[in-house]
Chains A and B, each alone.
Chain A
Amino acid sequence: MTTGIRRGRWAIAIALALTLAACSNGATEDTGSTTTTAAAETTAAGETTTTTASTDTTAGSGEPIILGVSYPLSGGAAALGESAMRGAELYLNAVNDAGGIDGRPIELLVQDNACTPADGVTAMSALVDAATKPVAILGAFCSSSTIAALPVIERGEIPLLVDAAAAPIITESGNPWVFRWGGSDAVFARVMASYLVNETDIRRVALVGDNTDYGSGGIEAAKAAIANHPELEIVSEDLVDLNSPDFTPMWRRIGASEPDAVWLHSVAVAGTLTLLDQYGQTNLANIPIVGRPNNDGATLEIFEQYGLNGYSAFHYAAEVDSTRNAEFIAEWEAAYGSTDGAAIGYFGYQGAEVAVTALREADSIDPEGIRAALENMSLSPTLLGGSIEFNEKNQASNHVVLFQFNGSTLDVVFVGSAD
């Protein structure tokens, strides 16, 4: 072998090792990015950005109250994190404009977790170890970055208000500092399974999840829910790597098993859009998608393109008919010019409201005081018209939204508790 080729092969070996180390493994949502520069407020993991939620000078002039935020602001879920940030800022701007909490403005201390476990830990560590500690933290949006950061929260003893991360283990773990006001996949799955049996002819289901904590946890929750309904049958189960370029062999295999529906549980990142795109390309569009397909704009565009249909259980839908929801949508549109992103902005907005409610009800504005306030909180009405009260596992009462989609048309068919 010539020297040139030998050098070349060593160079390839070194670089492949470096690249594989930076890329995802089977249990993470890492899209491979190791740097974060998505927007003006994003930070590299480990660095902090302080954002004052309002620059209005009518905000209180007292010592600011620091609220931590760990959201995916780079990587495949960056668009989601950015919308959630806008939601939090929208709510907190109004609070600060009205004088803050006893004259004290609320400031956000923001960390980017890139929707990966490793960056989730780094981001949460930066928050709990900050020179000026936050009194509570919103986040971390993605299940895998939230789960990875739970030990950090326990060490830091700062309440974490969990929003979109729906993996059941987050509250089942019993971490006393974790409060999930958003829904759990265990509940979403129970509602979906019951609806399929009672309201549809769907009986044979193919399970498809991404190979992250979110996807695998969701599939386990689906299996547990389906087990309670002997009418339902699981015909196949797949956990996919969203970094794969080609999902058509899997879709063809699933199509050959002739399911009545595909139960999908996959993070709303670029790879999931490819997954759905190829679902449409393989001529399976007549088979409904159920479970937890996402309802963001890009996903709906694909639904519309291929005429996909099905049902999705979700935390929220902009179409929910409630006074507070209508006010939120109007507020969002006034602030940002359209309703784009509002469905995800909900997480930041509602999460900020939970935090502010706890701040107002706390005997002392510190982590321990906030935790006690959360344990006794009864926030009502929420944007969905329900209430948020935490049970013994710090899991809030769950309102679930079930919507039916036909192309890009969404119809809310159920809003309420799973009980």
Chain B
Amino acid sequence: MAALSHALTVERVSKHYGPVRAVDDVSLTIGRGAFVTLLGPSGSGKTTLLMAIAGFVAPTSGRILLDEMPITPLPPERRNFGMVFQGYALFPHMTVAENVMFPLRVRKVARPEAERRVAKALALVQLGHLADRLPKQLSGGQQQRVALARALVFEPSLLLLDEPLSALDKKLRAELQVELKDLHRRVGLTFIYVTHDQEEALSMSDSIAILRDGRLVQEGAPGALYERPATRFVADFLGKSNFLEGHVEAVRVDGFAYRVGPLRFVQSGMAEGLASGSAVLVALRPEKVAVLGVPPEDAGINTVSGTIAAWSYFGAAFALLIDTPIGRMQATVPAWRCPVEPAEGRPVQLAWSAEASVRVVAD
């Protein structure tokens, strides 16, 4: 099932519903064979953008190109994109095999050839033995695989997936994430995946595009987005973050020093456009905060003292909430090497290096 993969370009696409801008001037390039995730909270326009790519929603302005060819005026059935809908949208009156056969039937593929391809597609998702069942006789995970086989059987130019795992329980979802990623590698198609689940996006994608209120906020590889979020929204939505709001005290060649309330911290790099006195926002991941019983000796490290306000145990880690003079902070510590026994009211020292945090834009 090796297919020629295609690139997709979204060029300044907007979709307005009256005064509501569901998608607002989004430009995006999706490379050949990439697994790209459109990530955002509900109402961010990610599904509308996917529907515009699929052809169900006509953009108010802008163009969509498949490789070099504009596809904006084409109806969905002429775009030759595979699509897996939220809730799968399997045809309840057709068997698994008939469902998978459907795209070939409407393409008038000859019967023997169609049957051969259906068998191949079902084998690809390991469902050959269930070909004669009806969708309602299958489990959620199996239905999801049927939807995948149906979307892949006609060798589409792209595969679009609209929250395909959202109806499944957590464990099954994790399994299917691995399967989907594996499938992506085997078929070599370009996948465009929509989800509101940031963990799903991080674990599966080659690239993530984060949307908010119809606008593209940031785009990049999962690691780059996680380590260097550009805005407060991204830092908060993709994983968790502590936010330190302060004013710049001094700008240096290798970074800057800033003051939050009574405390002074240092940040390495990211000093572009800053001057002494300007407001600055710094995001700090909870897992990058060290929780110590005594203050560290290295003076180049940022520290703040506080008391544990609440804690939870997750097996692998402790999540702590710590009250400090600059507000409540979160810290995540691997449980097996937590240096202090978590207890409410226990005084602790929080410490992080100048490279651990990132400066973000307040939005």
Q: Do A and B come from one complex?
A: no
